[in-house]
């Protein structure tokens, strides 16, 4: 009986997704012939700016489809949400950092060099603007805060809640835990030599890798005449309500990696540091292939409905692909809250090992 119900459910969802594709042309894959681009400037190579194979919806597109399912198909809101999740028809934000090919960052072993912060996502629930000229204080935090200072997260829940409610009027996330998918795109390689010969080209014995992190946006009320240092993210949707960033200060505090007491910590003079593992841990985001001198691209997708047990055969397969066996349980995505920020760190260990980074991208999808 359970198998029959699952078959009926899948068939219904596939039918409704097919109906959406028919009635909403924007949902189709967007492949444009070359003749449509003849009068435009030459585009970058495909491996640098890949064209998406499917339309990427905005919030208003999802609401339009949801309204159709409810009003025309007579589906209850709960079932329409299930169909939209089945189709993965979600809005998303994108953050990218790429580097000049002749000046790529080299992450090397050694104090102060072997753990490098590379990129953060927009806070979940915040929509950046399409305008290059419209910026807010939260915009500046995400783009400019690359030098991180380890310190405990302050308790500003009241102010943060008010700011998040202002953001979500535009992004309209479905519930407190609205995150549905996170995609990490990493282009990098190691120094091209070293390690055991048998490990060359595999992920075994690799001592250059990437870890993920978690940050939270903290909000404090701004008082007249007060000039408080901020750490903030770039731009908001044109349909956003009045921005309240002029009335508050934003800070981004790191949750992962963990903040621990420094060696000279005292209650009178607190000192903190980030705790980074010596070796790739069970939650490593992605390793580089060992002794590969050419750039490799890794696309790591985390979904809210992932359910791979760490000690299972699939968990073993993750390790063979250079990923951590603890990273496909779905818990990180399901636990993402409004105001949470995803980060990527580059790592290298031991003399001679170098993590050479070409490009990092984070895409965060949420349910409306």
Final residue of a domain: which of 89, 115, 134? 89
Residues 71, 201, single domain; the answer is: no
Backbone angles phi, psi at 119, to 5 degrees: -160, 150
Mean pLDDT to the nearest integer, 112-136:
83
Q: Residues 176, 179, 185, CA angle at the centre, nearest 5°?
A: 155
Task: Evaluate the CA torsion angle 133, 168, 334, 66 in order and state its sign.
Answer: negative
Residues 68, 185, single domain; the answer is: no
Residue given tokens 């007579």 in the structure block: 74
Residues 191, 287, single domain; the answer is: yes
Q: How confident is the model at residue 233 (pLDDT cuts 50, 70, 90)?
A: very low
Q: How confident is the model at residue 37 (pLDDT cuts 50, 70, 90)?
A: very low
> What is the residue range of 219's domain?
93-366
Residues 303, 346, single domain; the answer is: yes
Q: How many Å apart are CA 276 and CA 258, to the nearest integer? A: 8
Q: How many Å apart are CA 79 and CA 269, to the nearest integer? A: 55
Q: How many Å apart are CA 125 and CA 27, to the nearest integer? A: 23
Mean pLDDT to the nearest integer, 343-362:
97
Residue 149 makes CB contacts below 8 A (sequence gap 6+) with none
What is the number of alpha carbons within 13 Å of residue 274 lying toward its C-beta? Answer: 22
Q: How many Å apart are CA 12 and CA 80, to the nearest integer? A: 11
Residues 61, 142, single domain; the answer is: no
Token pair listed for 215: 């940050």
Residues 358, 244, single domain; the answer is: yes
Q: How confident is the model at residue 46 (pLDDT cuts 50, 70, 90)?
A: very low
Cis peptide before 310 (omega within 30 of 0): no
Mean pLDDT to the nearest integer, 131-153:
65
Residue given tokens 């995609």 in the structure block: 183
Residue 79 makes CB contacts below 8 A (sequence gap 6+) with 69
pLDDT of residue 300 exceeding 60: yes
Within 10 angstroms of residue 114's Cβ, the number of other Cβ atoms is 20
pLDDT of residue 30 exceeding 80: no
Residues 211, 329, single domain; the answer is: yes
Residues 49, 148, single domain; the answer is: no
Q: How many Å apart are CA 341 and CA 257, to the nearest integer? A: 13
Final residue of a domain: which of 89, 115, 147? 89
How does the average pLDDT of the chain come out, rounded? Answer: 81
Residues 290, 199, single domain; the answer is: yes
**Terminal-to-terminal C-alpha distance of the chain:** 32
Residues 67, 126, single domain; the answer is: no
Ranges 104-118, 146-160, 296-310, most confident: 296-310
How many domains does the structure of the chain reveal? 2
Mean pLDDT to the nearest integer, 151-158:
60
Residue given tokens 């807010």 in the structure block: 136
């Amino acid at each position: 009986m359970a198998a029959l119900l699952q078959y009926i459910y899948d068939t219904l969802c596939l039918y409704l997704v097919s109906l959406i594709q028919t009635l909403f042309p924007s949902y189709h894959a967007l492949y444009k012939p070359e003749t449509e681009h003849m009068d435009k400037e030459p585009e970058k190579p495909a491996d640098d700016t890949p064209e998406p194979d499917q339309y990427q919806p905005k919030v208003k597109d999802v609401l339009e489809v949801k309204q159709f399912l409810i009003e025309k198909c007579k589906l209850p809101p709960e079932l329409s949400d299930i169909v939209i999740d089945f189709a993965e028809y979600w809005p998303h934000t994108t953050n990218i950092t790429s580097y000049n090919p002749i000046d790529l960052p080299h992450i090397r072993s050694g104090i102060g060099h072997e753990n490098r912060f590379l990129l953060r996502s927009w806070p979940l629930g915040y929509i950046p603007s399409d305008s290059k000229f419209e910026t807010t204080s939260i915009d500046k935090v995400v783009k400019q805060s690359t030098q991180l200072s380890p310190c405990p997260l302050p308790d500003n829940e009241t102010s943060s809640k008010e700011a998040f409610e202002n953001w979500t009027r535009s992004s309209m996330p479905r519930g407190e835990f609205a995150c549905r998918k996170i995609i990490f795109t990493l282009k990098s390689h190691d120094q091209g030599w070293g390690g055991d010969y048998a490990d060359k080209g595999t992920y075994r014995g690799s001592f250059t890798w990437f870890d993920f992190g978690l940050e939270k946006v903290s909000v404090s009320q701004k008082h007249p005449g007060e000039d408080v240092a901020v750490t903030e993210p770039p731009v908001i949707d044109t349909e956003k309500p009045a921005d309240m960033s002029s009335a508050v200060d934003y800070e981004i505090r790191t949750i992962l990696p963990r903040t621990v007491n420094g060696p000279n910590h005292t209650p009178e003079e607190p000192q903190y540091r980030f705790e980074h593992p010596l070796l790739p841990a069970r939650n490593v985001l992605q390793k580089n292939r060992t002794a590969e001198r050419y750039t490799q691209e890794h696309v790591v997708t985390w979904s809210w409905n992932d359910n791979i047990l760490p000690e299972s055969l699939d968990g073993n397969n993750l390790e063979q692909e250079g990923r951590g066996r603890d990273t496909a349980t779905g818990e990180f995505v399901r636990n993402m809250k409004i105001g949470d920020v995803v980060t990527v760190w580059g790592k290298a260990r031991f003399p001679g090992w170098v993590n050479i980074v070409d490009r990092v991208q984070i895409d965060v999808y949420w349910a409306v």
